[in-house]
Chains A and B, each alone.
Chain A
């Protein structure tokens, strides 16, 4: 209790919060500082939001897959461009004990448009046997019988709204609509809608039967050359044991991954191998630096302006600690004052960007905690540098 009282007296928050009173007395400077630091926090939120949005969009499809193991060509570096492999290799898995089913998937990107309507747009086509359930997306599973008719597809309405929004709108207003490949070679009919989410490499998704996918995406994909192989196991099977068998079966020809391993591999690519991770990371650091410079400038000017007052306080018996605490409190007050509106504004921007881009940007607790810690941390560092100026507060100079 005694130590709490001592701390309370030291930080001087009980009845005369000098740091707050000093900030409040100069509202314009306070507002400028809060704007600067808030902008830095906003910049960090945006970079982290884009980064997590990228990772989420790249892995949403994998997350929705209903499978125990996945076969993928080791030459496939990311989900934006698959290297095909022979379907016959997938069927070999059926010989392994514990494997109950194998499902081939064709995944590739096409460009399509609507004559006189929807502008050319990039679409990821996911082709599979419509008799099978491969994605944990109820709207797809409920409508998959429609896919049995050639050239009938389902359209993802969570795409980049500026480009694909008109498709969902037309479908809702007028029912099924016709799109055509950008090379005018084939057309297809949108028979239903679902929600999955766009990616950084495609504006939206199409779900089709294998046959329709092969027709639309030929010659990028050809019959018997698949993008992914899904392997489902008996409920009693040991997943890692079967995975080991399959690995020894395929050797270097194919990767055998669990869903989590595939997601980790995909995230690792975008985070560490591609330039995206570096760019977003650099953006976050830039935000941190901008904020740091702003806080340092504000605190340095503030300490300089109050130097005579601090020297007077020292002369009258206040400790160095007391004065240091005033400067540190100011920096924390600035950080908190800037962080709260920056978080609210970022959440609003995330919502707006999600609606426009179809890439989900979410204000999560870990993001809030990270940016909050970075903002307070940078204010603490800036105050530690500005505090050096306090040495100039010589109590002997007051007379």
Chain B
């Protein structure tokens, strides 16, 4: 069992009694029920579960994209319950987001997409460009720096999204199906890249995935079903995901 004491320095995410619902009155629909879990620094944590289980809602709460209603949720040492919009924005700047549908800015080139986000972390434009190029090189896109997103394949776009999220070296990475459009080798590379970031920066990575190939690389797996969360072993997760 996970010990749900108060957050320790190694805790990046700590949720206690986290409950969330949509609608009001008779239409109120509780999506997350009394969640208790934690995500530790230097770990790659997987969040697995079927569609409609509450994964996306949980990600938006952890990502400070939605206000916490009930329970406690500490992210990067800050209590999100009752946090102001500015506090939520400050937390978001320390998180690297990887979206399933990439969400790249269509009018910017590959390099510019990565540089844009680095504006929040690196004041020197020259250094921004160097860091962006280095990260794109790391994801194998150095030959595509000046291409626009609509000139790339799905896998290449996903790699740009990953480079964009990792370039500012965030304290936490939230990734929604980051390997969905990647081949086996590229998927493996991405997970290694994320693991490397964890170890080097003492960051944490929380991946939402259905990709069985990633289970062996995870330090911890949380399963979510019908808005309830459980710690899963690799075999248990494999069994549940394959059914």
Contact = CB atoms under 8 A, between A and B. Distances in A.
Interface of A: 9, 12, 14-16, 18, 21-22, 24-26, 308-309, 312-313, 315-319, 395-396, 398-399
B60 A399 contact: yes
A16 B106 contact: no
A396 B66 contact: yes
Which of A18, A22, A25, A398: most chain B Cβ within 10 A? A398
24 contacts: A9-B123, A14-B125, A15-B125, A16-B112, A16-B119, A18-B105, A25-B106, A25-B107, A309-B103, A313-B116, A315-B63, A315-B65, A316-B97, A317-B89, A317-B90, A317-B95, A319-B89, A395-B92, A396-B66, A398-B99, A398-B103, A399-B59, A399-B65, A399-B100
B178 to A, nearest CB: 12
Contact of B65 (A25, A308, A313, A398): A398
Nearest to A395: B65
Given A16-B119, A18-B108, A396-B65, 7 more contacts: A12-B119, A15-B125, A16-B116, A21-B112, A25-B106, A315-B92, A395-B65
Nearest to B208: A399
Contact of A317 (B99, B115, B120): B120
A21 B99 contact: no
B93 interface: yes
Nearest to A311: B103
Given A15-B125, A315-B97, A22 B107 contact: yes
Contacts of B128: 15
A269 B59 CA distance: 70
A308 B103 contact: yes
A317 B92 contact: yes
Interface of B: 56, 59-60, 63, 65-66, 89-90, 92-93, 95, 97, 99-100, 103, 105-108, 112, 115-117, 119-120, 123, 125, 128, 148, 176
A326 to B, nearest CB: 10
A228 to B, nearest CB: 66
Contacts of B97: 312, 315-316, 398
A309 B185 CA distance: 29
Q: Which 7 residue pairs across A and B have the least CB separation, nearest first?
A: A317-B93, A25-B107, A312-B103, A15-B125, A317-B92, A396-B65, A22-B107
Contacts of A318: 120
B63 A399 contact: yes
Contacts of A16: 108, 112, 115-116, 119
Contacts of B89: 317, 319
Contact of A399 (B93, B106, B176): B176
A399 B89 CA distance: 17
A24 B120 contact: no
Contacts of A309: 103, 105-106
Contacts of A398: 65, 97, 99, 103
A317 B112 CA distance: 17
Contacts of B148: 25
A329 to B, nearest CB: 13
B216 to A, nearest CB: 25
B56 A21 contact: no
Contacts of B108: 16, 18, 21
Which of A24, A395, A399: most chain B Cβ within 10 A? A399
B193 to A, nearest CB: 19
Contacts of B176: 399
Contacts of B115: 15-16
Contacts of B116: 16, 18, 313
Contacts of B90: 317
A319 B148 CA distance: 24
Contact of B107 (A12, A24, A399): A24
B23 to A, nearest CB: 15
Which of B92, B99, B107: most chain A Cβ within 10 A? B107
A312 B161 CA distance: 11
A315 B64 CA distance: 8
Contact of A21 (B65, B92, B107, B117): B107
